[in-house]
Amino acid sequence: HTVILSSHIMQEVSAVCDSILIIDKGKLVLQDKPENLSMHFGSTGGLKLVVRGDKDTVISELNKIDRITKLEETEAPEEGTINLTLFCNEDEDIREDVFFSMSNIKTPILEMQSIRMSLEDIFLKVTQEETYPEGDYRDLEDDETNDKETNDDEEVNADASDL
């Protein structure tokens, strides 16, 4: 069975749907399972990191990595640990740099996780990019058939029976 759900609330869509289709300007631009979309679009250029060590030493060492564009500290999960979010360009992988950097100062990494794009991030990415030539989509708002009233019960029933 198929149920068509039209929504801009992406959290609900990913919780309810087995397959997602994204339509932009009347053209199907993306179709897949939610988990495949997340894997396909990958990282947002960020890394969550939890380490055990001296905060100033850790931050100083991480600041030596040129590819890290921004570093944010968040609340530590337990005493003696440092919880950081590291940002880099979307197409860069800084995991090895971070590993060797922490190894240099003998600081154990308790957790390291790439930040994946959310379904909302994916939706915005594919609908804000011009992925097809101008005019290569059907503009539903300008379609003449939208101007025609369809109050005829017989016509509506015929259309519904085709489903």
Tally Cβ neighbours within 10 Å of residue 46.
20
Kindly report, residue by residue over 48-69, the tens digit of the pLDDT: 999 999 999 999 999 999 999 9
Calpha distance 111→107 (Å, rounded)? 12
Q: Over its length of 163 residues, how does the chain's per-residue pLDDT go in tens digits?
A: 677 888 878 778 878 888 888 888 888 888 888 878 877 776 667 899 999 999 999 999 999 999 999 999 988 878 889 999 999 887 788 999 999 999 999 999 999 998 877 788 788 888 886 544 444 433 333 444 434 443 434 343 334 344 3
- CATH architecture of structural domain 43-115: 2-Layer Sandwich (3.30)
Q: pTM for the complete prediction?
A: 0.55
Domain boundaries, the chain: 1-42+117-139, 43-115
